[in-house]
Structure 1
Amino acid sequence: MAKPNKKGPKRTVQISCLQCKAPIFKYRKGGKGALVKCFLERIVEDHTTKTCHCPGCGQEFARETMMRGAPVYKMIGGKVHMK
């Protein structure tokens, strides 16, 4: 399978916790669909201290896995908000 483009899209989105509104990531997202997965190489700013857990309330918002030969965070539905 093809690897994702390392440079990625130019548009950045702010990802925050839906429960406590704490910022989680600043991410370069392509397309206009829902946020299903985040490629680690496209994360511009990371505000988390513990992997896949919100820095504010500690809630798990994603699961770490591999896709297309690259590490990704698969988002759990209804846990994050994208702006």
Structure 2
Amino acid sequence: MAKPRKKLPSRTVDVNCAACRTALYKYKKGGKGSLVKCFVERISQDYTHTPCTCPGCGQVFARETMIRGTPAYKIIGGKVQVK
């Protein structure tokens, strides 16, 4: 399969923890669907201290994986809110 586009999308979304509402990322999201995966190269600001773990409540909200040969985080359903 093809790699994600090199040109970053213009739309930036805030990704927050669903349990404690702590800010996790500012992410350059393409498309209008729900957030299923976050490519690491598209994260513009990262507020987490350890990858895929909320700094506020310690909940694991994603898993590290490789998607189409690019490092990404697969979001666990219902663990994050996108605004």
TM-score between both structures, scaled by the size of structure 1: 0.97
State the one-letter code of the partner of 1:62.
A
4+ residue runs over 4 A deviation: none
Specify the alignment match of 2:54 in structure 1.
54
**1:3 corresponding residue in structure 2:** 3
Residue-pair matches, total: 83
- TM-fit CA distance, 1:23: 0.1
Q: Point out where structure 1 has 5 or more consecutive residues left out of the alignment.
A: none
**CA separation in 1, counterparts of 2:31 and 2:41?**
17
1:28 is matched with 28
The runs of 5 or more residues in structure 2 that have no matched partner are none
- Residue aligned with 1:41, SS: helix
Q: TM-score, normalised by structure 2?
A: 0.97
Q: CA RMSD in A?
A: 0.6
